[in-house]
Amino acid sequence: MTTFKTYVQAARLRTLPLSVSGIIVGSALAYAQGFANWKILTLALLTTIGFQILSNFANDYGDGVKGTDNEDRIGPKRALQSGAISRRQLKKTIFITAGITLGIALMLIFTAFGTDHWTYTLLFFILGMASIIAAIKYTIGNKAYGYSGFGDLFVLLFFGFLSVVGSYFLFTKHLDWTVFSPAISVGLLSVGVLHLNNMRDRESDQKVNKKTLAVKLGVVKAKKYYYYLIGFSFLFALFYANYHYNSIWNFLFVIAYIPIVKQLIRVLKNTDPQKLDPELKLLALSTFLFAILFGLGQIL
């Protein structure tokens, strides 16, 4: 019998700090400008967590069905791969998670816009549906975009732009073009986590024709690409801190880059893909730390 613990493991809760990083940044930027609403913050966090868990379930299902999760895979065993959850059970879980997440998203939209902004309500409903589709289509289906090298782009769009700029807009009801700068920073760091995962799984992905950017670029160029992801994420954050400079606290986020730079050096020197597994966990937690410090830097 499938236990609750099995579903918790399949949900991969360790990925949640990364998923909420953009919400933290967007909400902090809004708060720094005098916009605060704890209901919006709570619902935004729950919605993002729902999308992430949905993506994890869908990823487990898609890679399991396609045979990508096999004995060659370096990372931890997945639920479908190990037989802990059947296809039918996991598919049902995906539908239930999608339904619950959509319900929370609708509460978030109504809380933010009420009945006064129907254009915004429609726009964010479409974005919510797009998020659900993107979470599912990453690995599921014949045209799964994660198998053709577009995973990085979608992570940038949803973990960066939608998460940061979208949450900022929910509070403020207006756009500030400079907010796109930290959105890019969070997005690129999130792409970095995905890319490290794909670098780790490059050989096994190549065998099953999963054409991630790590597979397409090869070992040397994949490392250079990772270097640029980290470098530009820092530069965009630095730009925002300089543009909106109030005090030295604006640069508090630099502390988060200390472990990131140390890790970057290890990745560039790496010759054993298996040793990249703890590195992607470190980058995910460092991105979460960046979000907190960046947000505090704007508020203090």
Interval 53-110: pLDDT, tens: 999 988 888 787 766 655 655 656 666 766 778 888 889 999 999 999 999 999 999 9
How much is the pLDDT for 72?
58
- Report the alpha-carbon distance of residue 174 to residue 260 in Å, rounded: 33
In the predicted model, what is the mean pLDDT of the chain?
91
Among candidates 66, 198, 77, 204, which has minimal Cα distance to 143?
66
How much is the pLDDT for 242?
96
Q: Which two tokens stand for residue 34?
A: 């005098």
- Report the alpha-carbon distance of residue 145 to residue 151 in Å, rounded: 6
- Report the alpha-carbon distance of residue 295 to residue 273 in Å, rounded: 33
Provide mean pLDDT across the span 20-24. 98
More confident of the two residues 186 and 146: 186
How much is the pLDDT for 59?
86
How much is the pLDDT for 1?
45
**Quick one: how far is CA 192 from the chain centroid?**
10
Is residue 191 predicted with pLDDT exceeding 90? yes
Per residue in 9-18, pLDDT tens? Answer: 888 888 899 9
How much is the pLDDT for 209?
86
Provide mean pLDDT across the span 3-26. 89
Give the domain ranges of the chain: 7-299
The CA-atom distances, in angstroms, between 152 and each of 19, 135, 139, 192, 234 are: 15, 13, 13, 8, 18
Q: Which residue has the tokens 């890319």?
A: 195
Global pTM reads: 0.94
Q: Which residue has the tokens 């979460």?
A: 288
